[in-house]
C-alpha cells in the first residue's frame, strides 16, 4: 500500500508541475516552482481538492519564510543570482497566476474517482460526513440521540459507497453493531463498519452529546474509551478507524481548568500525546484506564450552534512490534447488513444480543 501511494503521489506531482508557465514574474519564480514540486513528492496523496489547496498554500508560505521579504518580493540567497531580478520571487505573480494554475491542474486530475481503495474509502467517509452534517443542520432528519445518528449516517455511507464501486468485482458493505469480544475483557459493539470486500475496511464509533443530557465528565471519558477501542480493533482487523462526535454542549469545546476535563481533554485544539495512559476514578466511571498509542487533534467544526468532530485512526501508524491486544475476536455485524443494493440481510446473532438497527 505504501509503495502504491508513493507512486500515485509522484504521478500527481509530475502532472501538475511538469509543464511550466510560459511567463514568470521574476527570475527566482522557476526555482521556487521546483522547490514546491519537491515538497509535494513527500506528501501522502491529499484526500480531496480542499486538502490539496490548503497544503499548497501552507507550503508556499513556509518556503517564503526562508527568504527575505521586501514589499511584493522575496529574495532567496541560495537561488541563482544572475540577472537583475536574480534570486527574487514575485508574490503577486504567485497569488494571481502560479498558485491558481496549480490548483486548477490538480482539480482536473480529480475529475475521475481514484481506483486506489484507500483513497476511495477516504472519499466515501469524507463525502458521507459532509452530506450528513448538511442534512443535520437543515433538519432533514429528526436526530436527538445517537441511534438515529447511527442509522442515517450508515445509510448515507452505504449510498455513497455504492457509487464508488467502479467495476463488477467491487462490493461495498455496511454493518451495524459489529460484535467484538475481549476489548479490555469486555464485549464491544462497533456502531458502524464498512468495507470494500476483500480490499479495505473501516470501523466507526459515534457520539451524540447535547447540553440537555449533561454528564460531560462521563462523555469526555467515553470519547477516549471509544478511540482506544478503535485502535484495538484496527490493530487486529480494520485498516482505518473513524470517530465522529456531534454536540451543542460547550464544556466539550472549551478548555477545562479543573476536573476530568483536564485528565480527558476534548477541547478545541487539544492534541493528545502518543503512548499515554489516562485513568479515572470518578463515580460511574471508576477504574477506567485508557491507553492511546497515537496522537489525535480535536479540531471541532462549528456550524450554527452545533460542533462536529472527526478523528482518524490509521493502523499503519501503530508499532507493529508492540501489538495492542491479544485474542480479539470480531464476530460480525449484529442483526443486519446493509448490502450494495440496500437490502437488509440477517447476519447471524442471537436475539438476545443488542439490536439498534430497526428503522433503517
Instruction: Please indicate, yes or no, if residue 311 is contained in any of the structural domains.
Output: yes
DSSP H helical ranges for the chain: 2-17, 29-40, 49-64, 91-93, 99-109, 117-137, 146-163, 216-236, 260-263
- In tens, the pLDDT along 75-115 reads 887 787 777 777 888 989 999 998 999 888 887 776 677 78
Give yes or no: residues 126 and 99 share one domain. no
- In tens, the pLDDT along 117-135 reads 998 999 999 999 999 999 9
CB 107 within 8 A of CB 127: no
Question: Residue 21: which domain range?
Answer: 2-109
User: How confident is the prediction for the chain on average, in pLDDT?
Assistant: 81
Give yes or no: residues 73 and 131 share one domain. no
Give yes or no: residues 128 and 87 share one domain. no
Give yes or no: residues 92 and 19 share one domain. yes
Q: Which of 56, 68, 61, 63 is nearest to 35 (CA)?
A: 63
Instruction: Please indicate, yes or no, if residue 352 is contained in any of the structural domains.
Output: no
CB 315 within 8 A of CB 240: yes
Give yes or no: residues 130 and 16 share one domain. no
How confident is residue 332, by pLDDT bands cut at 50, 70 and 90? Answer: low
Instruction: Please indicate, yes or no, if residue 358 is contained in any of the structural domains.
Output: no
251: which 3 cell numbers? 464544556
Give yes or no: residues 187 and 323 share one domain. yes
Residue after which a domain boundary falls, among 109, 136, 168: 109
Instruction: Please indicate, yes or no, if residue 79 is contained in any of the structural domains.
Output: yes
Instruction: Please indicate, yes or no, if residue 354 is contained in any of the structural domains.
Output: no
Q: Please, which residues bridge with residue 209 across strands? A: 247
Domain count, the chain: 2
Give yes or no: residues 78 and 127 share one domain. no
Give pTM, 2 decimals.
Answer: 0.64
Residue bearing the bigger pLDDT, 79 or 9:
79
Inform me whether the pLDDT recorded for 326 exceeds 50: no
CA angle 140, 146, 149 (to 5 degrees): 30
Give yes or no: residues 136 and 95 share one domain. no
What is the per-residue pLDDT for 206? 96
Give yes or no: residues 314 and 203 share one domain. yes
Residue after which a domain boundary falls, among 109, 127, 150: 109
Instruction: Please indicate, yes or no, if residue 359 is contained in any of the structural domains.
Output: no
Inform me whether the pLDDT recorded for 249 exceeds 50: yes
Amino acid at each position: 500500500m505504501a509503495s502504491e501511494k508513493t507512486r500515485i503521489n509522484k504521478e500527481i506531482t509530475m502532472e501538475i508541475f511538469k509543464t511550466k508557465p510560459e511567463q514568470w514574474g521574476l527570475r527566482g519564480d522557476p526555482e521556487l516552482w521546483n522547490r514546491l514540486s519537491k515538497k509535494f513528492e513527500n506528501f501522502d496523496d491529499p484526500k480531496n481538492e480542499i486538502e490539496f489547496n490548503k497544503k499548497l498554500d501552507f507550503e508556499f508560505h513556509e518556503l517564503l519564510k526562508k527568504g527575505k521579504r521586501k514589499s511584493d518580493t522575496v529574495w532567496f540567497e541560495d537561488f541563482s543570482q544572475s540577472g537583475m531580478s536574480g534570486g527574487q520571487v514575485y508574490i503577486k505573480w504567485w497569488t494571481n497566476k502560479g498558485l491558481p494554475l496549480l490548483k486548477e491542474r490538480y482539480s482536473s486530475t480529480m475529475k475521475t474517482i481514484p481506483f486506489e481503495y484507500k483513497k476511495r474509502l477516504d472519499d466515501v467517509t469524507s463525502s458521507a460526513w459532509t452530506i450528513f452534517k448538511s442534512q443535520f443542520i437543515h433538519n432533514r432528519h429528526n436526530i436527538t440521540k445517537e441511534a438515529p445518528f447511527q442509522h442515517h449516517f450508515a445509510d448515507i455511507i452505504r449510498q455513497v459507497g455504492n457509487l464508488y464501486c467502479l467495476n463488477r468485482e467491487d462490493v461495498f458493505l455496511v454493518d451495524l453493531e459489529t460484535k467484538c469480544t475481549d476489548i479490555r475483557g469486555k464485549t464491544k459493539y462497533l456502531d458502524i463498519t464498512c468495507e470494500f470486500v476483500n480490499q479495505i475496511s473501516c470501523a466507526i464509533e459515534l457520539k451524540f452529546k447535547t447540553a440537555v443530557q449533561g454528564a460531560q465528565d462521563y462523555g469526555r471519558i467515553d470519547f477516549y474509551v471509544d478511540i482506544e477501542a478503535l485502535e484495538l480493533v484496527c490493530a487486529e482487523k480494520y485498516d482505518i478507524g473513524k470517530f465522529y462526535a456531534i454536540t451543542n454542549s460547550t464544556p466539550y469545546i472549551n478548555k477545562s481548568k479543573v476536573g476530568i476535563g483536564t485528565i480527558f481533554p476534548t477541547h478545541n485544539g487539544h492534541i493528545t500525546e502518543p503512548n499515554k495512559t489516562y485513568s479515572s476514578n470518578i463515580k460511574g466511571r471508576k477504574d477506567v484506564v485508557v491507553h492511546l498509542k497515537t496522537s489525535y487533534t480535536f479540531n471541532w467544526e462549528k456550524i450554527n450552534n452545533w460542533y462536529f468532530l472527526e478523528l482518524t485512526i490509521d493502523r499503519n501508524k501503530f508499532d507493529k512490534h508492540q501489538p495492542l491486544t491479544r485474542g480479539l475476536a470480531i464476530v460480525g455485524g449484529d442483526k443486519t447488513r446493509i448490502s450494495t443494493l440496500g437490502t437488509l440481510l440477517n447476519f447471524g446473532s442471537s436475539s438476545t444480543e443488542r439490536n439498534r438497527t430497526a428503522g433503517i
